[in-house]
C-alpha cells in the first residue's frame, strides 16, 4: 500500500526491509536505517518522514541519538503538535533543525543534503486523524473520502482489509 500511495512521487522508493525481518525480533527504526546504510545508501540520501507528535518522543527511541546520524528526518506538523514547539521540547536538537515550506521545495533540501543529516521541519495543515482512525472508519464501512489515495483505497476494498470479511446472508 505504501508503494501505491507514493507511485506518483518521482525518486521516492518504498523499502520492504522491515517485512523481511524475522517477526520475532523488534522492529527498530535504527536497525532499519542501518540495513539501508549497509546496502549502499549514504545517510545523506535517506529521509525518514515522521509526524511531529511521534518525533517529540525521539529521545526515548532505541539507539538515540545515533539514529539521527543515519538519516535526515522530515518532521511534518500534526494537528495539535506544531513543529515550532519542537525547538523548545528538544533544545539539544534545535541546531540541526531547518524549516522548509510545505510546498515542493525539493531543490532547497537537496542542496543541503551533502551536510550531516538534518531535521527538516515542515509546517503545514494536516487533518486531525490517525491511521487508527482511518482503519476504524473502514471497519465500520464509513466514508474515507479524501483520506486515502485512490490506489490504496482500491487495494483495501479488493482485499477486504479492515472489515469483517464474513458476510451473513439475510433470507426473505
Decide if 96 contacts 68 (C-beta within 8 A): yes
Q: Shortest CA distance to 60 belongs to which of 29, 85, 87, 34?
A: 29
Give pLDDT, residue 15.
Answer: 85
pLDDT tens, residue by residue, 63-80: 999 999 999 999 998 877
Q: Supply angle C-alpha 33, 26, 53, rounded to 5.
A: 65
What's the Cα-to-Cα distance from 166 to each of 79, 91, 155, rounded to whole Å? 36, 51, 18
- Mark whether 90 and 171 lie in a shared domain: no
Indicate if the pLDDT at residue 36 is higher than 90: yes
Do both 48 and 87 map to the same domain?
yes
- All three cell numbers of 28, joined, read 527498530
Query: Which pLDDT score is estimated for 97?
Result: 92
Question: Could you give the number of structural domains in the chain?
Answer: 2
Residues 26 and 111 in one domain: yes
Q: Is the pLDDT of residue 4 over 90?
A: yes
Q: What angle do CA 68, 27, 56 make, to 5 degrees?
A: 45
Structural domain harbouring 9: 2-127
Domain co-membership, 109 together with 152: no
| CATH number of the domain encompassing residue 30 | 3.40.50.620
Mean pLDDT across 147-158: 91
Cell of 68: 539521527
94/75 same-domain check: yes
**How many CA atoms, within 13 angstroms, populate the side-chain half-sphere of residue 62?**
9
Same domain assignment for residues 57 and 74: yes
Pair 100, 53: CB distance under 8 Å: no
User: Residue 165: how many CA atoms within 13 Å on its side-chain side?
Assistant: 7
Residue 59 is classified by DSSP as G
Amino acid at each position: 500500500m505504501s508503494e501505491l500511495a507514493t507511485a506518483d512521487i518521482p525518486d521516492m522508493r518504498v523499502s520492504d526491509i522491515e517485512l523481511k525481518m524475522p517477526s520475532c525480533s523488534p522492529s527498530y527504526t535504527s536497525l532499519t536505517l542501518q540495513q539501508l546504510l549497509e546496502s549502499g545508501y549514504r545517510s545523506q540520501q535517506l529521509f525518514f518522514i515522521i509526524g511531529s507528535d511521534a518525533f517529540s518522543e525521539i529521545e526515548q527511541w532505541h539507539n538515540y541519538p545515533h539514529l539521527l546520524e543515519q538519516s535526515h528526518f522530515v518532521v511534518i506538523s500534526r494537528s495539535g503538535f506544531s513543529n515550532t514547539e519542537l525547538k523548545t521540547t528538544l533544545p539539544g536538537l534545535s541546531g540541526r533543525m531547518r524549516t522548509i515550506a510545505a510546498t515542493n521545495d525539493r531543490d532547497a533540501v537537496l542542496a543541503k543534503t551533502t551536510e550531516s543529516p538534518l531535521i527538516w521541519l515542515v509546517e503545514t495543515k494536516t487533518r486531525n486523524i490517525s491511521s487508527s482512525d482511518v482503519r476504524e472508519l473502514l471497519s465500520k464501512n464509513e466514508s474515507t473520502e479524501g483520506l486515502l489515495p485512490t490506489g490504496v483505497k482500491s487495494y483495501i476494498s479488493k482485499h477486504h482489509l479492515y472489515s469483517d470479511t464474513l458476510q451473513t446472508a439475510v433470507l426473505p
